Structure 1
Amino acid sequence: MSFLDNLAKGLKNALDIANTKGKEAAQYTKLRYDIFQLNRDLEATYTKLGKQVFNSNTLEGTGEFFAEVRRIEAEIAQKEEELREIGQTNPEAAQEAEAAIQAEAGSTGATYTPQSAADSGTQNPGGTVDVSKSDDSNKPQ
């Protein structure tokens, strides 16, 4: 093979690698955005739930909100697992995507910290309702 053939083959391989990493970085970024959006949906559901509980002063009629919270938490957990898989198969793409996300968040003043979906329902700042449970222990004391 001539020098030009070797050069062309090397460039093609480099472009293929860059293309693959770019696709993985884009997929990683999309998953992070999806998780961010789902967390916003979860917060909105918590707000609706809080209003319902406050207005009714009971937990009757809140089952749909608990189901929605669990659905969103499961979707977040699934997408976070996909992120972990991408991070394990291509840590460089994950790091590049993280850097881009943090740079964008810094320029807009926004912040996002990934969390496990299992953790999101156990935080109980008001001390009245723990959404990670569905039994009678949820009833206000």
Structure 2
Amino acid sequence: MGGIIIGPSVLVGLKLICQFQFSLSSGWHFLLFLAGLEVELERLKGRLLTYVALAFLVSLGLALLAGYGFYAAGQVVSPLLIAIILVATALGIVVPILKDAGVSDTDFGQLVIAGAMFAEFGSIILLSLFFSREATSTGEN
């Protein structure tokens, strides 16, 4: 009976969903790879990298302040998740815009790309830590 209910149509749909998820994931990886090609690490050493890291920490602090403000107002359940969402950057939009404007090779363009990459990776790491904390607090493993 279960085979009739599930049938090949459900299994084909499940296979398409898995293929779609893989294509989304591989597109995301390719986008991050292309953005990484745009950054010249020689320009980002020393003080400039410190500025980018400090700017990310300041923006994270402001996002936490906003998240906890929404939490105090009763608008959200998880202020940390709101802060992570606010810190996330659209790296896939930033890099093509800078390339089209012809400023991706300048010091300003490199600074913006480095800041966007730092924010993107930082938000991904924070999001993975958030969900691993949520999974352990609910008893899931």
Same fold (TM over 0.5): no
TM-score in terms of structure 1 length: 0.34
TM-score in terms of structure 2 length: 0.34
